[in-house]
Amino acid sequence: MDLGIAGKRAIVCASTRGLGRGCAEALAAEGCHLVINGRDRDLLYELAANLARQHKVEVTPILGDVSDPEVQKKLVGAWAEVDILVNNNGGPPRRDYVELDRKAILDGVTQNMVTPIELIRAVIDGMRARKFGRIVNITSSSVLAPISGLDLSSGARAGLSAFLAGVSRQVAGDGITINNLLPGKFETERLMGGHKRNAEKSGKPLDAVIAQEKAAIPARRFGTSQEFGEVCAFLCSVQAGYITGQNILLDGGLLPRAF
């Protein structure tokens, strides 16, 4: 299927690894020109060169933390027109809520709620003027079901979903869609770090911990960043223009729910 977005200009935040990278790769494969972002200079510039060479698209790398206002200015200033925005950012580290102080809470809310709202505000007027825009926010399945130790991440991301529920409907008539992708367990460095912690804590072999977690998922496997990215690309397509204000769960059936 031709998604109809070749030549569109996209910003993909935190896109050198994991799910963000999957989204950048999928959009590049559809012919989108990209601004990509990360904090590892070597990885960032290597990815930019590879995507440009493989897909014959323009790729602009922006180094730095996406929550930094100066980095945000560079991201939104790289193109005169931004058609697609994929919001992504690392979540706060796993920590029991009783260990959180005020600064940690505010930092988490800035990372996972304030930053995407700031970027949306920066690009949405241009989208409205051109009558086209696609905004995809990578949040988490923990928005729908709590995960121990991720209370801050869950709360901030749920706040983003609630904030944008009304905004998405305000701009729908201008050809703009805003949707949230809620990943479950995907093969990323962050997930692997959790496996290692669980293995150390339980004393079980790492392979046994991984096998046990896969067995709890009806799909019997973890998701891949490639398939996640392809869902993101579809939400950015012309065909997805009637999908907005939605929280789309990608978890292999792990969360037992009918609605």
Stated pTM of the model = 0.95
Residue for token digits 């609605």?
Answer: 259
Can you spell out the DSSP letters for 130-197? HT-EEEEEE--GGGTS--TT-HHHHHHHHHHHHHHHHHHHHHGGGTEEEEEEEE-SBSSHHHHHHHHH
Give the CATH number of the domain where residue 119 resides. Answer: 3.40.50.720
- Using DSSP, state whether 171 is helix, strand or coil: helix
Q: Are residues 193 and 174 in the same domain?
A: no
Q: What is the DSSP letter of 94?
A: P
Structural domain boundaries, residue 216: 188-222
Summarised one tens digit per residue, pLDDT across range 213-248 is 999 999 999 999 999 999 999 999 999 999 999 999
Q: Are residues 206 and 124 in the same domain?
A: no
Q: Are residues 62 and 87 in the same domain?
A: yes
Summarised one tens digit per residue, pLDDT across range 132-177 is 999 999 999 999 998 888 999 999 999 999 999 999 999 999 999 9
- Count of domains forming the chain: 2
CB atoms within 10 A of CB 50: 13
Residue 57 maps to a domain: yes
